[in-house]
Structure 1
Amino acid sequence: MRHFDLTPLYRSTIGFDRLGSLLDTLGAFEGDTPSYPPYNIERVGENEYRISMAVAGFGDKDLAIEVKENTLSIRGEKQAEVGETTFLHRGIAGRSFERRFQLADHVVVKGASLENGLLHVDLVRELPEAMKPRTIPIETKSDKPRVIDSKAA
């Protein structure tokens, strides 16, 4: 639970309401943070990232990846096994899970792959042309249009 009021911030800013909702989300995670399945977040390039999640025992049909409103959700649910299996020891967790990741603006999911028990989700940050820095020429009032003298040429 949040112990401070962001109402004055909402009154004096425009477009920063997502910051408040992000803080609300962080406050919701104060207690139990899920630790299953374990994952890594790597930076593989200047604007490229990869989430690698250990999903041993899950196949591609058992996993679902969804992106909605800057939130990446990865869900795993084992399909019912056909046949009767008696385990003497069961150490590979097969329980259902859901992991959520908040994505920054302009971060898109490029693809996902499953290899050797690891789910890899590739992300890239793509800035639109309007957001990229550009140089603006400065004109002065004293600048006069150039007139080319055809006799001098």
Structure 2
Amino acid sequence: MPGPAPKHSSTRTRRNRTSTASTLTPTTKAKVPPLPDLEGQPWHPMTLAWWDDLWRSPMAPEYDPSDIHGLYLLATLVNGFWEHPSKELAAEIRLQRQCFGLTPIDRRRLQWEIERSDEAQDRGRRRRTAAPKAPAADPGVDPRSVLRAV
């Protein structure tokens, strides 16, 4: 007795694409907001470099003005880590940065894809179309020759 008829392909298609899905374009014209005053202390140079990189990244245009407060909090954590590194601070930074798509896995979760340059696309295309090199065949004894039917 045959089983049920297969479903139409349109009903099998997944429809769980999130509303945050987008392709991010690298930008060089982003305005870097100033970091707030750190109660008379200077910001660590690594924190300043991180802040500058953050606002020049392709993710910066996705940030809403209300996100700046969370980014200030994250900058304070990053600064604390560079001043006095600890596992606890590293763990909290890892948790906080997930919200802003700062790592490849976070961007994947948010379904953000960074637009690739033509050069990177060409390299990938060449790599995919290159014929895989088959291992050289050993002209020795065929290992199947020891098998016997019982």
TM-score range (shorter-chain normalised) is under 0.3
Question: Which structure carries more strand by proportion?
Answer: 1
Question: Which structure carries more helix by proportion?
Answer: 2
Higher relative contact order (CA 8 A, sep 6+): 2
**TM-score normalised by length of structure 1:** 0.21
